[in-house]
C-alpha cells in the first residue's frame, strides 16, 4: 500500500529540512547526506521521482561546471531547483555562475572562501557579482565571507537581480562611510548583539546608493564580527544608539565624532534618506545588523588576508 503522494512529498521535505551542519559554516552543504534519502529512491519509480524532486530543490555546487553538468545530466530537474548554494573556492580565479537553466530559482547563497580577492569578472570594473543569466524569479540573495565588502561589489546587483526582496550579508569587515574603507569592527565590551532599523535607514550611505535601484528590496540582514577592544559604545536598544550607527569604524567614531557640528550633520544626513543625495531602496523597511564575537584566530586570519588583499587591489588598479 502506497502513501498518498501529497503526504509522501511532505514527509520527504521535512526529512530534508534540517541541516546537518551549522548554518553559519561556510563551504559546506546545508543539505542532508544523500544516504538519508537513497533508500527511498530504491523503493519504487514513484518514490524515486518524489525523492529526487525534493533533493534537487536545493542545488549545491563547488564550481560552475557542476551547474553545467547538472543541466546536462538532469535537464528535467532544472525547473525543480528553488535554492542554489555555490562556493567560491580559495583560489585567485573568480568563478562565474551561469544560472540560466534554473528557471524557477528563488534563493541564492554564495560562500566566498577566498580571503585574497574580491568578486569580479571580465574587463568591465562594474562586473562584480559573479552571476550571469539569473532568472527574474530570484527573490533572496545571501553572500557570506567577502573579504573586502566595498559598495563596488554591488554595482551591478540591480541588473542581475531586479526583483530582489531580501539581501543577506555575513562578513568580518564592514564598509565605513566616513573613511571610505573596509574596517575590522570593534566595540567596547560587551558590545551589541542585534540592531534593527525599520524606517528605511541603517545602511552605510554608499550601500544605500548602490542598492537604491532595487525597486523590490524590503529587507537587509548584515551579520559582522565584533573583534572587541574598541572604544565605540553600542548596545541593542535605541537609547544606546543615539548616532544611528551604520558601519562607521571605531577610529572614525573616536576622532571625527569629537566635532559636535560634524557629528550632528552626519547623523542628520543618515536620518534624511530622501534628501541626503544618496537615496535608498524605495520599499526598504528593515535593516537588521547582527554581531558575533570573533575569536582570536579569526583576527589573525583577517589581518593576514587584509595585507594580501591590499596588494591584490593595488595590482587590479594598475
Beta strands in 206-254 (DSSP E): 219-226
CA distance 317 to 308: 14
**DSSP 8-state class, residue 129:** S
Note the pLDDT of residue 261. 94
Task: Please give the Cα distance from 29 to 107 (Å, whole number).
Answer: 15
% of the chain with per-residue pLDDT over 70: 76
Helix, strand, coil fractions of the chain, as percent rounded to 5? 30, 20, 50
pLDDT tens, N- to C-terminus, the chain (318 residues): 566 666 666 666 666 666 555 566 788 887 777 666 666 666 667 677 777 777 888 899 999 999 999 888 888 888 999 999 999 887 777 789 999 999 999 999 999 988 766 776 555 555 578 899 999 999 999 999 998 899 999 988 999 999 999 999 999 999 999 999 999 999 998 889 999 999 888 999 999 999 999 999 999 999 999 998 889 888 877 778 889 999 999 999 999 999 999 999 999 888 876 555 678 899 999 999 999 998 766 665 665 555 555 545 444 443
Name residue, grid cell 528535467.
Answer: 76
**Of 91, 145, 115, 113, residue with least CA distance to 309:** 115
Cell numbers for 239: 537609547
Question: How many residues make up the chain in this entry?
Answer: 318
User: Which residues, including other chains, have CB under 8 Å from residue 190's CB and lie 6 or more apart?
Assistant: none
C-alpha distances out from residue 29 to 9, 11, 64, 115, 143, Å: 22, 21, 15, 20, 14
CB 248 within 8 A of CB 177: yes
* Model pLDDT for residues 33-53, shown as the tens digit of each residue: 766 666 666 666 767 777 777
Instruction: With beta carbons less than 8 A apart as the criterion, state whether 154 and 180 touch.
Output: no
Amino acid at each position: 500500500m502506497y502513501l498518498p503522494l501529497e503526504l509522501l512529498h511532505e514527509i520527504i521535505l521535512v526529512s530534508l529540512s534540517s541541516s546537518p551542519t551549522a548554518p553559519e559554516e561556510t563551504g559546506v552543504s546545508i543539505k542532508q547526506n544523500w544516504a538519508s534519502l537513497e533508500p527511498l529512491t530504491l523503493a519504487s519509480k514513484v518514490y524515486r521521482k518524489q525523492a529526487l524532486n525534493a533533493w534537487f530543490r536545493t542545488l549545491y555546487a563547488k564550481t560552475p561546471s557542476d551547474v553545467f553538468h547538472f543541466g546536462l545530466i538532469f535537464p528535467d530537474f532544472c525547473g525543480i531547483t528553488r535554492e542554489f548554494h555555490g562556493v567560491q573556492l580559495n583560489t585567485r580565479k573568480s568563478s562565474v555562475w551561469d544560472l540560466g537553466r534554473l528557471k524557477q530559482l528563488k534563493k541564492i547563497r554564495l560562500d566566498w572562501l577566498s580571503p585574497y580577492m574580491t568578486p569580479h569578472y571580465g574587463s568591465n570594473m562594474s562586473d562584480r557579482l559573479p552571476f550571469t543569466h539569473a532568472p527574474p524569479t530570484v527573490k533572496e540573495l545571501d553572500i557570506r565571507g567577502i573579504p573586502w565588502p566595498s559598495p563596488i561589489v554591488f554595482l551591478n546587483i540591480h541588473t542581475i537581480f531586479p526583483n530582489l526582496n531580501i539581501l543577506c550579508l555575513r562578513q568580518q569587515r564592514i564598509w565605513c562611510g566616513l573613511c571610505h574603507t573596509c574596517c575590522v569592527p570593534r566595540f567596547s565590551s560587551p558590545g551589541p548583539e542585534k540592531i534593527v532599523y525599520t524606517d528605511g535607514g541603517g545602511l552605510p550611505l554608499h550601500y544605500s546608493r548602490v542598492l537604491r535601484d532595487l525597486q523590490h528590496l524590503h529587507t537587509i540582514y548584515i551579520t559582522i564580527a565584533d573583534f572587541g577592544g574598541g572604544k565605540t559604545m553600542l548596545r541593542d536598544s535605541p537609547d544606546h544608539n543615539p548616532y544611528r550607527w551604520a558601519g562607521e569604524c571605531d577610529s572614525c567614531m573616536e576622532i571625527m565624532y569629537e566635532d559636535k557640528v560634524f557629528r550632528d550633520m552626519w547623523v542628520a544626513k543618515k536620518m534624511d534618506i530622501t534628501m541626503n543625495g544618496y537615496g535608498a531602496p524605495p520599499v526598504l523597511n528593515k535593516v537588521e545588523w547582527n554581531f558575533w564575537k570573533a575569536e582570536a584566530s579569526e583576527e589573525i586570519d583577517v589581518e593576514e588576508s587584509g595585507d594580501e588583499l591590499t596588494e591584490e587591489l593595488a595590482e587590479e588598479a594598475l
